[in-house]
Structure 1
Amino acid sequence: MTNAFINRLHAQAHRPRHVLISYLSVSLFGRIMICCAVLVSLLEVLALLEQTTPILQRHLGARGLMLYVGLRLPFLLSNTLPFAVLIGALVMLTQMTLSSETATLRAAGLSTLGFYLRLAPITLMLGFMGVILDDQIAPRSELALATWWNRTDPTPENGHAFWFRDTGRIIHVGYVANGGTRLGAVDIYTRDAQGSLTGTLHAAYAEHTSAAGWSLHDVSSLSVQSLVAQEHAPQASIPWAMTLSPTEFIRLAADRPPISARLMLARLLGRVPSNDTPAYLKAGLLERLMRPVSLLVLLLIAMPVLYIPPRTGSRSWLPVWCLGSGLLFIVIQGLFRAMGNAGLIPPFMAVLPGLIIFTLGALSALLRNETL
C-alpha cells in the first residue's frame, strides 16, 4: 500500500511537466503545419502557372494537373520545412509573450532553457520526419514525376544530354525517351587502369526490353592500342551489358534530383554508375545527417522573442530581427553547400560552420537579454 501511494505521488508530481511539454509541442506542431501548408500551396500554384500549358498541350487534362501536384508535394514539403519551423516557432513564441503566457510560466520558475528543452523533442521529431522525406519519399516521387513527364514528352530528342561514369567507362547519352526504355545517341569511351583511352563505341540509339535487357543499334566502334586506332566493321545490333534500369537513366538525365543516402553511398563507393562528384555526395550525406540539428538551430534563433518588452508589445522589431537571422542562416547554409558541391571547401566545412556560427550567435543574444 505504501509503495503504491508513493508511486502515485511521483506520478502526480511529474504530470504538470508532461502536460506543459504536450501543450507546447502541440502548439508548435500545429503552427508549423499551417506554415507548411501555406508555403507549399504558394509553391504549387507558382509551379502550376509554369507547367499548366505544357501539361494541357500533352492532352493530359485535369488528371495530369492533379498528378503533377501530388508527385511534387513531398519535394516541396521537404524544402519548406526549415522555413516553416522558423516562422511557426516565431509565431507561437511571440503570441505567448504578448498574451503574458511567457510571464506566467517564468513566474512559475520556467527558464528560457526550460522553454527550449520542452520544444526540442517536437523539433527533433520534425527533423527526423524531414530526413525520411528527403531520403525515402521525395526521391521516389521525383523519379515517378520525371518518368511520367518523359513518357508523355512528344519531342524527347530535345531532352537533356548527360555524362556518367561506369567503372572503367565514360558514357554519354544524347536523350532519354519512352520513360527510359529508349536512349538516343549513345557514346561509350573505355579506359585502362591508367586512364588512357582504349576504345570508343557509338550507337544511334539503345533500347531496353524486359526479356533481352539493353541492346545497342547501328553501332560503329574502334579500338586504340599503342596510340594506333583501328576501326571495326559496323554492326546493326549488339547486346549491351548495362546494369542500370530505365528509371535509373531517368534519374541520371534529371538535373540534381533528390536521391537516397543509400544511393549516395553506393555512388561514392563506385558500386553504381554516377554523374555526381564525390564532393557533392559527401556534402549531401553530411547535410542529411545534420538535418535535425539545423532545425534545432532555427528554434534557438527564434527564442529571443521571449524577451519582447511588455510596453513594446506588437510594435517590437525583435521578431523581425529573429526572422531575418533565420533566413540568413538558411542562405548561408545554402552558400556553404554550393561551395562544398563545387569542391571549393571540404564537405564538413560545407555543413558545420553555419551551424556553429549561428548557434553561438543565438546563445550570445539570449545571454545578453538574460543579463539586461
Structure 2
Amino acid sequence: MSVQLQFFPSRQISLYMVRLFLTRTLAVLALLVVVLQTLDLLGQSGDILAYPGNGDAQLWHYVGLRAPQIIARFLPFSVLLGTLVMLTSLNQNSEIVSMKAAGLSAHQILAPLVAAALGVALVSFAFNERIVARATASLSAWEAVDFGPIPRDSGVKSNAWVRDGNNLVTAAIVAGRGTNVQLRQVEIFNRVNNSLTTIVQAPRAHYDAASQSWLLDDARQFDVARGTSRPIGTVRFGHDIRPDQFTLAKVDPDALTFNQLRAAIADLRDAGRPTASLEASLWHKLAGPLSALLMPILGSVAAFGLARSGQLFLRAVMGMALGFAYFVADNFSLAMGNLGAYPPILSAWAPFFLFLLLGETVLFRTEE
C-alpha cells in the first residue's frame, strides 16, 4: 500500500513518536504537580495544623486528596507543553524534515500523537470518575469542618442551607440519602420580621421519619439581644423540611461522577429546580478530558515550516498561544453556561470544535 494512503505509515516511527510524546507529557505533568502541590501545601498547612491533634499524617492526607485535583486540572496543559517540547526537539534534529522527505504528510506525522492523546483522554476521564470526584468530595467536606473529623460516608456534601419559613438552617456536612440523612455542625437562624433573634447550634441532627421532623442533639441557643448562650438539649425543628432539600441544596459537579451528576440533575428537574449550569458541567465532564486530543493539532505549528522560516522559538510561542487560548475560551464558555447565557451543550462543546477547526485550518494552510 502506498505511503500516502496509510494512516500510520511506519510502526517504528509511530512507536518512537508515541514514546517521546508520553514521556515528555508525563515529565511536564510531574514537574507541574510537584511545584503546585508544594505551593498549595505551604498555603494550607497552617489551617490543617491549627486543628488540635492534626500532624504530619493529616498533611499527607491533604496531599493525597489535593494531588488528584491538580493532576486533573493540569493534564491538558501538560499534553500541550509535552507536544511543544517534543515537536521542537524533532525539528531541531531535522527529524521532521526526514519524515517529510520520506513522503509523510503533516497529518501522518501527527497521527501517532493524536492516537496517544486519545488514550490520554480516556485515562483522564476514568481517573476523574474513579479518583478525582471522590477526592474532591472528601476534601470539600474536610475543609467544611476546618480539617477536623468528618462522617465516613461516600455521599457526603458540604455547606448546605435551606429555608424553614422565615428561618435559615445551615449544615456544614450532609451525609446519606432519603430518611437516613445525617447533619453535622447545624445552625438555625431564627428571625422575626427579618430581624435575627436567636441562633441555635448543634453538633449533629437527624431526620425522624415517624414525626416527619428533625431532631437536634446537644443543642445550644444564643440570644442575640441579650448576648447570652445556654444549653437546650434535644430540639425538634423543620416539620416542613424534606430530607432531599438538604441533599439537593448544593450539588457540587466536581465532587460527583458522570452518572451521579446525571442522577442529581434528574432529581432537581423532578423537584422543579433549575439545572442548566449542572447540565453544562455534565457535558464538560466529557469535553474536558477530550481537550487532550486537540493539543497535538494546536501545537503542530511548532513542527513544520522551520526549514523555510527558521523561526523555531516564534512557532513554539504560537503553538503555546493557540493552546492557552483554547483553555481561556473553554473556561469563558463554561462560565457563560453556568450563568445561563449559553445552552449547556454549546457551552461545553463549542470551544472544542471551534479550536479543532482552527487547528486544522492552520495545519492545512501551512503544510497541506
Q: Give the structure-2-normalised TM-score.
A: 0.73
CA distance in 2, matches of 1:63, 1:178: 25
- For the Cα contact (< 8 Å) 2:169–2:189, is it kept in 1? yes
- Deviation of 1:309 after TM superposition, in Å, equals 1.9
Q: Say whether the 8 Å CA contact 1:203–1:216 is kept in structure 2.
A: no
Report how far residue 47 of structure 1 moved: 1.0
Match runs of 1:8-87 below 5 Å: 17-58=10-51, 59-87=53-81
How many Å separate the matches in 1 of 2:138 and 2:147? Answer: 14
Tell me, yes or no, if structure 1 residue 117 matches structure 2 residue 111. yes
Q: Tell me the matched-pair count.
A: 322
Distance 1:87 1:276 in 2: 41
Runs of 4+ in 1 over 6 A off after TM superposition: 13-16, 238-242, 251-256, 271-276
Q: Is the 8 A contact 1:25 1:118 kept in 2?
A: yes
Following superposition, the deviation at residue 262 of structure 1 comes to 1.2
CA deviation after TM superposition for structure 1 residue 74, in Å: 1.0
- Single out whichever of 175-184 and 123-132 deviates more from structure 2: 175-184
**Residue of structure 2 equivalent to 1:261:** 258
Q: Secondary structure at the match of 2:303?
A: helix
Give 2:186's aligned residue. Answer: 184
Whole-Å separation in 2 of the counterparts to 1:170 and 1:126: 51
Please report how far the alpha carbon of residue 153 of structure 1 lies from its aligned counterpart in structure 2 after TM superposition: 4.7
Task: Tell me, in whole angstroms, the C-alpha distance in 2 between the residues paired with 1:326 and 1:19.
Answer: 28
C-alpha distance in 2 between matches for 1:23 and 1:155: 49
Quick one: structure 1 residues 337 and 239, their matched pair in 2 at CA, closer, same or farther if it must change by over 3 Å?
closer
Q: Conserved in 1, the CA contact under 8 Å of 2:253 and 2:261?
A: no
Unaligned runs of 5+ in 1: 1-12, 189-201, 220-234
Specify the alignment match of 2:101 in structure 1: 107
Contact 1:135 1:261 in 2 (8 A): yes
For structure 2, the residue ranges without an aligned partner over 5 or more in a row are 1-5, 151-157, 176-181, 191-198, 220-233
- Match status 1:281 vs 2:278: yes
Paired position in structure 2 for 1:3: none
Q: Deviations over 1:202-234 (max 9, x none)?
A: 97545249xx99942399xxxxxxxxxxxxxxx
The one of 162, 170, 174 aligned to 2:170: 174
Partner of 1:216: 215
The 1-side partners of 2:297 and 2:357 are apart by: 10
Q: Does 1:98 align with 2:96?
A: no
Aligned to 1:320: 317
TM-score (structure 1 length as normaliser): 0.73
Asked if 1 retains the 8 angstrom alpha-carbon contact of 2:280 and 2:344, the reply is yes
Q: 1:31 to 1:173 in 2, by over 3 A?
A: farther
| Whole-angstrom CA distance in 2 between matches of 1:340 and 1:264 | 16
- Does the 8 A contact of 2:184 with 2:205 survive in 1? yes
User: What SS class does the counterpart of residue 66 from structure 2 fall into?
Assistant: helix
**1:283 & 1:142 partners in 2: Cα distance?**
19
Pick which of 91-100 and 143-152 moved more. Answer: 143-152
Contact map agreement 1:98 1:314 (CA 8 A) in 2: no
The one-letter code matched in structure 1 to 2:57 is R
String of CA shifts for 1:276-300, please: whole Å, max 9, x gaps. 9411111112112223442222221
Deviation at 1:135, TM superposition (A): 2.4
In 2, distance between residues paired with 1:163 and 1:273? 20
Q: For residues 2-50 of structure 1, what are the alpha-carbon distances to aligned partners after superposition, in whole Å with 9 as ceiling and x for unaligned?
A: xxxxxxxxxxx99972222222111111111111111111221121121
The equivalent residue for 2:154 is none
* Secondary structure of 2:236's aligned partner: strand
Q: Distance in 2 between matches of 1:135 and 1:276?
A: 25
Amino acid at match of 2:15: S
Q: Percent identity?
A: 25
Q: How large is the Cα RMSD of the aligned pairs?
A: 4.1
Give the match for residue 205 of structure 2: 207
Contact 2:48 2:146 in 1 (8 A): no
> Could you tell me which amino acid in structure 1 is paired with residue 184 of structure 2?
R
Q: 1:242 to 1:314 in 2, by over 3 A?
A: same
* Contact 2:294–2:355 under 8 Å retained in 1: yes
Residues 307 and 343 of structure 1: CA distance in aligned 2, closer, same or farther (over 3 Å): same
